[in-house]
Amino acid sequence: MSRGKTPSSGNSRTTQTFAQGLAGRSNAFGLLRLVLAVLVIVSHAFPVGGWGPDPMGGWTRGQAELGDLAVVGFFAVSGYLITLSARRTPLIAYLWRRFLRIMPAFWFVLLFTALVVGPLYYGRGQGSLTGYFDEPEGPGSFVGANALLMMRQFTIHGVFAEAPIGQGVLNGSLWTLFFEAVCYLIVGGLAVVGLLSERRRWVVPALAAAFYSVSVVTLFISVTSFTVVELARLGSVFLTGATVALFRDRLPFAGWIAALCAVTVVTTALVGGLRTIGYVALCYLILWAAGRAPRRLHRIGSTNDLSYGVYIFAWPVQMALAIHGVPAWGIGWYIVSCVLVVLPLAAMSWWLIEKPAMKLKNKLPWASGAAVRTGAAACADAATPSRSPAAG
Average pLDDT by stretches of 10, the chain with 392 residues: 42 73 87 96 95 94 95 97 94 94 97 95 87 89 96 92 79 96 97 94 97 94 92 97 96 96 97 96 97 89 92 96 94 97 97 95 62 43 38 38
Tell me, yes or no, whether 392 lies in a domain: no
Angstrom distance (rounded) from CA 265 to CA 275: 10
CA distance to 306, 314, 317, per residue, from 109 (Å): 14, 11, 12
**CA torsion through residues 288, 291, 294, 298, sign:** positive
Structurally, the chain folds into a number of domains equal to 1
Do residues 179 and 211 touch, judged by C-beta distance below 8 A? no
Nearest to 152 by CA among 133, 184, 174: 174
Task: Characterize 300-310 residue by residue with b for buried, 16 or more Cβ atoms within 10 angstroms of its Cβ, and e for exposed.
Answer: bbeeebbbbbb
Tell me, yes or no, whether 6 lies in a domain: no
Nearest to 129 by CA among 121, 164, 142, 137: 121
Tell me, yes or no, whether 166 lies in a domain: yes
Task: Characterize 381-391 residue by residue with b for buried, 16 or more Cβ atoms within 10 angstroms of its Cβ, and e for exposed.
Answer: bbbbbbbbbbb
Residue by residue, DSSP assigns 224-260 as --HHHHHHHHHHHHHHHHHHHHHTTTTSB--HHHHHH
Residues in the chain: 392
Tell me, yes or no, whether 9 lies in a domain: no
Tell me, yes or no, whether 180 lies in a domain: yes
Tell me, yes or no, whether 7 lies in a domain: no
Check residue 262 and give its pLDDT: 97
Tell me, yes or no, whether 305 lies in a domain: yes
Nearest to 72 by CA among 36, 102, 35, 48: 36
Angstrom distance (rounded) from CA 103 to CA 100: 6
Using DSSP, state whether 7 is helix, strand or coil. helix
What are residue 17's DSSP bridge partners?
252
Do residues 126 and 133 touch, judged by C-beta distance below 8 A? no
Check residue 302 and give its pLDDT: 82
Check residue 166 and give its pLDDT: 62
Tell me, yes or no, whether 336 lies in a domain: yes
For the chain, give the longest Cα–Cα distance. Answer: 87
Domain with 228 in it: 20-387
Nearest to 238 by CA among 171, 194, 177, 297: 177
Sequence-ordered list of residues with C-beta below 8 angstroms from that of 167, at least 6 positions apart, any chain:
155
Check residue 15 and give its pLDDT: 76
